[in-house]
Amino acid sequence: AERPWVCKPVMAAPPPSAPGEPAPPPPPLQYSLLLQHLVGDKRQPRVWDPAALGGIPCPPKSEEQKMVERVMESCPFKAALACVGGFVLGGAFGIFTAGIDTNVGFDPKDPYRTPTAKEVLKDMGQRGISYAKNFAIVGAMFSCTECVVESYRGKSDWKNSVISGCITGGAIGFRAGLKAGVIGCGGFAAFSAAVDYYLR
């Protein structure tokens, strides 16, 4: 227990400096207090504000720039861009699959004859063109459908990809029957949802 009659040492305050004498040096700053203000609980994060540094000048857009933006955000432009991208991707995929296929260039009437390089290249080109056309049609249909669905809903989320994937897969599968259309709708919708989830 603390004894009230025991005298405790009292730190004497530094004597005031005379008018002509220099002021006494301040007490040294404790390292632990400094760390609390730098990385401890008392640290206050500074919010980065571009306006504090003057900001980035943003000149007003001209009418030509606005028109170009409207064209690039329109559904026909997106569908055309997806069509071109699908054509290139499908052509590359078709040539790749033809390159690893051992039956490319063989004549079914004479299977023992070795095909020439010209026949192999011809078959690779035909398969590449076929894949390119199919990919271009699917890409254009999906992009155009997604743009229409997004414009109708007024939102940009994962539901647009799922709905447009279902419509595209169903339209492609319905050519082989109702069952194939339902399977195509579900499969393409699931694939679109997975791609959208991965990209986001």
State pLDDT tens for residues 147-186. 889 888 888 888 888 999 999 999 988 888 888 889 989 9
Closest CA to 138 of 199, 193, 190, 89: 89
pLDDT range class, residue 131, cuts 50, 70, 90: very high
What ranges do the domains of the chain cover?
71-154, 157-199
CB atoms within 10 A of CB 187: 15
Burial 20-36 (b: 16+ CB within 10 A, else e): eeeeeeeeeeeeeeeee
pTM of the predicted structure, to 2 decimals: 0.60
**Alpha carbon separation from 90 to 63, 107, 140, 167 (Å, rounded):** 37, 25, 13, 21
pLDDT range class, residue 75, cuts 50, 70, 90: confident
Q: Which of 33-37, 45-49, 51-55, 164-168 has the lowest mean pLDDT?
A: 51-55
DSSP 114: P
Closest CA to 190 of 168, 173, 166: 166
